[in-house]
Amino acid sequence: DSGVTQTPKHLITATGQRVTLRCSPRSGDLSVYWYQQSLDQGLQFLIQYYNGEERAKGNILERFSAQQFPDLHSELNLSSLELGDSALYFCASSVSEGAWGNIQYFGAGTRLSVL
Amino acid sequence: GQQVMQIPQYQHVQEGEDFTTYCNSSTTLSNIQWYKQRPGGHPVFLIQLVKSGEVKKQKRLTFQFGEAKKNSSLHITATQTTDVGTYFCAANFGNEKLTFGTGTRLTIIP
């Protein structure tokens, strides 16, 4: 158990809909990262938050947004869903904001299926 | 953009054979990390390499960081069924963001 909690584990929805994925980081971790992993693909970095503020942006679509709340949990909002958004979405957390010496601990992921 | 190439994409080996995956960058890295993702699981941190030419071992796993800090490798000696999974390198180009490689999926033939 990494200590990172993601809910829900599975999500099935229809095209055009909007969903929210939730992540609770490890106790004491201030950074939260979101990744997308499509079938047989690598990890695509979406966005990073540190202590409530956006720190880095990757290949995140405009239809996607995220935020980190004062209690440090984070939510990833996906809207106007398309079939191609079906993927495994991982949240990871780390103690600090940089990549130097910073281990990322991953949650179990949310599997999103858009039908 | 900054990318790290990881090869091979897939590797099938007989149990007991060795396995190696490589990560290559065209630019110098600050440091590199390795993660393992078991089938149906999530990535788990294995190790971090920081120094030029660094070599670290974890039981049957040997991790190397190139002298120029542009490439890295993970070598598993005498693979076992528990080694099955996808191995990712994650590179830090100095911009404090980890860039993950595409991963190498290892399958073991018993």
Please give the pLDDT value at position A98: 66
Show which residues on chain B lie within 8 Å of chain A, measured between beta carbons. 6, 30-31, 33, 41-45, 48, 50, 88, 90, 92, 95-103, 105
In angstroms, the CA A51 to CA A93 distance is 11
Share of chain A above pLDDT 90, in %: 78
Report whether pLDDT(A101) > 70: no
Query: What is the percentage of chain B residues whose pLDDT exceeds 70?
Result: 97
Inter-chain contact B88–A42, Cβ cutoff 8 Å? yes
Mean local confidence (pLDDT), B6-22: 97
Q: How far apart are CA A88 and CA A56, in angstroms?
A: 20
> Which chain A residues touch B31 with a CB distance below 8 Å?
99-101
Cα torsion angle, A69, A100, A36, A92, sign? negative
B19-64: pLDDT as tens digits: 999 999 999 999 999 999 999 999 999 999 999 999 999 999 999 9
Do the Cβ atoms of A42 and B103 come within 8 Å? yes
Give residue B88's pLDDT band: very low, low, confident or very high (50, 70, 90).
very high
Question: A88 CB contacts (<8 Å, ≥6 apart)?
Answer: A36, A37, A38, A109, A110, A111, A112
Q: Among residues of chain B, what percentage have pLDDT more than 90?
A: 89
Task: Report the b/e string of A33-47 with b at 16+ CB within 10 A.
Answer: bbbbbeeeebbbbbb
Q: Determine the distance in angstroms separating the CA of A56 from the nearest CA of chain B, rounded to an integer.
A: 7
Q: Please, which pLDDT band fits residue B96 given cuts at 50, 70 and 90?
A: low
Distant-in-sequence, close-in-space partners of B11: CB < 8 Å, separation ≥ 6:
B19, B21, B104, B105, B106, B107
- Say how far apart CA B97 and CA A35 lie, in whole Å: 13
Q: Do A100 and B43 touch (CB under 8 A)?
A: no
pLDDT at A89 over 90: yes
- A11-59 tens-digit pLDDT: 999 999 999 999 999 999 999 999 999 976 789 999 999 999 999 898 8
Indicate left, alpha or beta for B96 from its phi (over 0: left) and psi (-120 to 50: alpha).
Answer: left
- The encoded tokens of residue B10 equal 């897939």
Nearest CB among A104, A105, A109 relative to B98 is that of A104
pLDDT for A41: 74
Give pairs for A57-65: CB < 8 Å, separation 24+: A58/B97, A60/A34
